[in-house]
Amino acid sequence: MWIYERKLQFPVKIKNPNPRYAKIIVSQLGGPDGELGASTRYLNQRYSMPYRDVAGILTDVGTEELAHVEMIGTILHQLTRNMCVEDVSRAGLDAYFVDHTAGVFPQSAGGVPFDAKYVGVKGDVIADLNEDLAAEQKARVTYDNLLRMIDDHDVCEPLRFLRARELVHYQRFGETKPSGGNAKNNLYSVIPRIL
């Protein structure tokens, strides 16, 4: 089970609301490479993972991704606080506002609602772990793109933290070599047999 801890993994305190930034950052909540897809992907891949140590890293990274879902939600909430209708229109947030007001809804920057197709679960060790390595890099690129477009220290600091976490998770997934890490057990050097 999970227990809620009354704290963010990294502080978020955004002085200046800016719905324009919220409009693009929302992709890291409910977009194709967002945190919601990440946590759901890892936590669902665990069940068919035959190696206990790899199931462990999936559990722990998947759990950390839930904390990232909360950080992105917090960023979106603080960026859209105290908006008047003019702020909404000026930021081009009209379409979102009509359906969700200032609620935090998982969708991509392009307005596509979160879709379970972002949750890659193949039930195969090699396929799933390679999915995860790619997912971490895709999320990292999304943070790179956001950091290129955002010019506010209060927003960029937590985004930089989240970007760094993608690199660490990539590293840890890449280290998964059950049973001691000799060449025979290196997951990434296996040529799968057709059954």
Partner 1 sequence: MNEQKKLQRMIQTYSFVIYETALYLDTHPNCRAALDYYARYNAKLSEAVEKYESRFGPMTIFSGKNCEEWRWVKEPWPWEYNA
Q: Examine residue 87 and tell whether it contacts partner 1 (CB under 8 A).
A: no
Give the integer Cα–Cα distance in Å for 140 and 168. 11
Q: How far is the CB of 84 from partner 1 (least distance, A)?
A: 17
Side chain identity, residue 154 = D
- Per the structure block, which two tokens stand in for 34? 């967002």
Give the integer Cα–Cα distance in Å for 122 and 177. 19
Q: Examine residue 146 and tell whether it contacts partner 1 (CB under 8 A).
A: no
Give the integer Cα–Cα distance in Å for 164 and 70. 17
Contact residue for partner 1 among 20, 46, 77, 100 (CB under 8 A): 77
Give the integer Cα–Cα distance in Å for 5 and 125. 31
Q: Examine residue 53 and tell whether it contacts partner 1 (CB under 8 A).
A: yes
Q: How far is the CB of 193 from partner 1 (least distance, A)?
A: 26
Q: Examine residue 132 and tell whether it contacts partner 1 (CB under 8 A).
A: no
Contact residue for partner 1 among 38, 61, 135, 146 (CB under 8 A): 61
Residue recorded with tokens 């997951």: 187
Which of 65, 80, 58 lies closest to 155, judged by CA?
A: 80
- Per the structure block, which two tokens stand in for 192? 């799968």
Only one of the segments 36-44, 67-75, 108-116, 119-127 lies at the binding site for partner 1 (rule: CB under 8 A); that segment is 67-75
Residue recorded with tokens 């379409």: 95
- The values of phi and psi at residue 28, to 5°, are -80, -5
Size of the site for partner 1 (CB under 8 A): 30
Which is closer to partner 1, CB of 63 or CB of 145?
63
Site for partner 1 in 149-188 (CB under 8 A): 168-169, 172, 175-177
Q: Which residues contact 149 (CB under 8 A, 6 or more apart)?
A: 24
Q: Examine residue 57 and tell whether it contacts partner 1 (CB under 8 A).
A: yes
Only one of the segments 71-79, 133-141, 143-151, 185-193 lies at the binding site for partner 1 (rule: CB under 8 A); that segment is 71-79
CB 162 within 8 A of CB 28: yes
Residues binding partner 1 (CB under 8 A): 3-14, 53, 56-57, 60-61, 64, 70, 73-74, 77-78, 81, 168-169, 172, 175-177
